[in-house]
Structure 1
Amino acid sequence: MSEIERLLERLSNAHGISGREGSIQDLIREEIAPYVDEMRTDSLGNLVATRKGERPSVMIAAHVDEIGLMAKYVDEKGFLRFVTIGGWFDQTLLNQRVVVHADSGPIYGVIGSKPPHVMKPDDKKKPIEIKEMFVDVGCADQDEAKSLGIKAGTPISIDRTFARLAGDRVTGKAFDNRAGVVVMIEALKRTRSKSTIYAVGTVQEEVGLKGARTSAFGLSPDVALATDVAIPGDHPGIDKKDSSLEIGKGPVVIIADASGRGIITTEKVVSWLAETAEEFEIPVQMEVSGGGTTDATAIQLTREGIHTGVISVATRYIHSPVEVLSIKDVDASAELIARALETVSRHFKTDE
């Protein structure tokens, strides 16, 4: 197993929904410590690791949170009602096994529903909505659930583990954005850049790009790169007109996302990344998308504006527990950022 695969497996199998990312930050802190001069956690929970150097300073932002659930209340029979944290498609959640992160420790549960045997014909034709779902942890009543430390605000995450597919393809939960975290860590290991580098594990991206906004404001870097995942159009159910990306074809440089409501990467940043990729013979894919955005949108609009780009890993089935990507793409994305950190001073002057 490669180092990248080992690290991705470790991070993917760990749990940390938006707003409750502490255990993920602990893993990142352990992995990144040998490659930085100092680390701190800010008031929102962002992990800011700094390698001291020269200007231009560069921020690499990788959001660490995963979409999940949060207990809303426990009913009299011990079943948990919940809200979603982040963007779920309702039917993806149905009948999943989950981990309830109670005060007493992790407790397994299942998202229950009415069996088809007792459904009326009309019921079978209708999708089951999240508001009708519940989590069954096996408790007999409300008091038993409370005794385990299950209460309003208890985080809930999907119980799914990393697995290998054919070739260099792997599957798991939370590749959005633990893959981006791996890219950030690996880039920091490889680069010989003389710039000051801020490697930031940002929080609450899935619920509003919150950690990127506050950390970028505090750091005020000269340049920034966000790492994330992008949607490929290389599998049944999605057309190439919706996405021209393919897994296994290299890092994705985002030119624009969310039809411009997200980031529109400046020509200066696109040129920097494209020229670096060409110089070091790293194949890249250019992406213009109509939906979804990243931490880069918040960073770009911080203070008077920050030169910001995005390097993403093409990942199938995002916002599900069975995301799929190519390990070679993760490796190449880390290589592109490592080399871009070394060429940044050619493209950005510190008096700009």
Structure 2
Amino acid sequence: MPNIDFLYEILEKRGVSGDEHAFSAFVVDYVLQRRKNWKVQPEVYFGEKFHDNIILKFGNPRTVVFAHMDTIGFTARYENQLVPVGGPDVSDGDVLVGEDALGYIECSVTVDDGKVTHDFPRGIVPGTNLSYKQDVKVADGYIQAAYLDNRLGVYNALQLCEDLEDGVIVFSTYEEHGGGSVPFLMKYVYENWGVRQALISDITWVTEGVRHHEGVAISLRDQFIPRKVYVDKILQLAEESGVPYQVEVEGAGGSDGREVQMSHYMVDWCFIGAAEDNVHTPYEKVSLKDLEAMIMMYKYLMAHL
């Protein structure tokens, strides 16, 4: 069973793309406080050289796991206008929160012909980031909240750290709004430790072929196509693991895997994650059974890849 209290804690942390600093600092603090209790104490790389990205190196790594820390959201413009960050699926009445130099902000949005405005009684300082007000619900075998994408991917990566012996865990930025950090991070990991295979710890979609409660989704492709020999190897290990899983095939969407593929390095990658309903809304919904399967699958794969 996932640690619900810790899930609540990380889901309350805001981190719109480009504004990940506070959440990154939270993750670093978590790692530095707890690594002495892990099976292997990782080397921790962070700071201005890495912007808000974090790299954890365990033992003699063969595989790197990427989990992006950023979320979709909105940036305040002028005259009550809001500019989307990433691809929020926003509706009239959705509640946003944030903070500018004048104080705390909580407001509702109106969507008119694709234009998003807010009803806050004063002007919001332009450039201020806003995100969905959080309302976490755990019931009937599900967790529902804003930003399960990708707080659950981060949660999975942190759970993996507890008994990981060999591997690299990377917490990346910018994924929801075009990416940009992974080429540098992949370069660092490849050139320093020769890692040639990657897993993408992220959350995918419930579709006609990927359903709640049927296991973690292993993606054979989205808009981008990983190398089949690598995905076949993962599927073989998934069968051996006994962990419930589903196979996903999509023609759209992307992840940090896209940037691994587009980097200058010959690194295999595969997206593996639980599926959610209500994507990019305040009501994203994931099966706790699928989240548990995601964690178990990653632990097995990182030990056997």
Fold agreement, TM-score > 0.5: yes
Structure 1 position 176 matched with structure 2 position 149:
yes
CA contact 1:226–1:295 (8 Å) conserved in 2 = yes
Match of 1:286 in 2: 247
Structure 1 position 61 matched with structure 2 position 66:
yes
- Which letter maps to 2:179? L
Deviates more, 1:9-18 or 1:174-183: 9-18
2-structure distance, mates of 1:251, 1:38? 28
Equivalent of 2:218 in 241, 245, 253: 253
Change (3 A) 1:8 1:55: closer
Match of 1:217 in 2: 187
Change (3 A) 1:29 1:267: same
CA contact 1:276–1:336 (8 Å) conserved in 2 = no
CA contact 1:180–1:229 (8 Å) conserved in 2 = yes
- Which letter maps to 1:8? L
CA contact 1:63–1:181 (8 Å) conserved in 2 = yes
Match of 1:18 in 2: 17
- Which letter maps to 1:98? L
- Per-residue CA deviation, residues 137-163 of structure 1 (Å, 9 max, x unaligned), is 222xxxxx4xxxx42211111112211
After superposition, where does 1:295-334 map in structure 2 within 5 Å? 295-334=256-295
Change (3 A) 1:100 1:304: closer
Change (3 A) 1:42 1:303: farther
CA contact 1:46–1:215 (8 Å) conserved in 2 = no
Deviates more, 1:103-112 or 1:38-47: 38-47
After superposition, where does 1:125-204 map in structure 2 within 5 Å? 128-131=112-115, 133-139=116-122, 145=123, 150-166=124-140, 168-191=141-164, 193=165, 195=166, 197-204=167-174
Change (3 A) 1:44 1:51: closer
2-structure distance, mates of 1:268, 1:103? 52
Q: Percent of counterpart pairs with the same letter?
A: 21
Match of 2:229 in 1: 268
Q: Which runs of 5+ in 2 are unaligned?
A: 36-41
Aligned-residue offset at 1:311: 0.8
Change (3 A) 1:272 1:104: farther
Aligned-residue offset at 1:186: 1.1
Q: Which runs of 5+ in 1 are unaligned?
A: 114-127, 140-144, 234-239, 345-352
Structure with larger Rg: 1
Root-mean-square deviation (Å):
2.0
- Which letter maps to 1:331? E
Match of 2:38 in 1: none
Change (3 A) 1:286 1:81: same
Equivalent of 2:54 in 48, 51, 56: 48
- What is the TM-score normalised by the length of structure 1? 0.78
Aligned-residue offset at 1:8: 2.3
Aligned-residue offset at 1:81: 1.4
Match of 1:97 in 2: 95
1-structure distance, mates of 2:50, 2:43? 21
CA contact 1:68–1:84 (8 Å) conserved in 2 = yes
- Per-residue CA deviation, residues 270-306 of structure 1 (Å, 9 max, x unaligned), is 1332222222211211111021111011112322321
1-structure distance, mates of 2:254, 2:20? 20
Aligned-residue offset at 1:222: 2.1
Change (3 A) 1:338 1:49: same
1-structure distance, mates of 2:239, 2:52? 33
Aligned residues: 294
Match of 1:28 in 2: 27
Secondary structure of residue in 1 paired with 2:3: helix
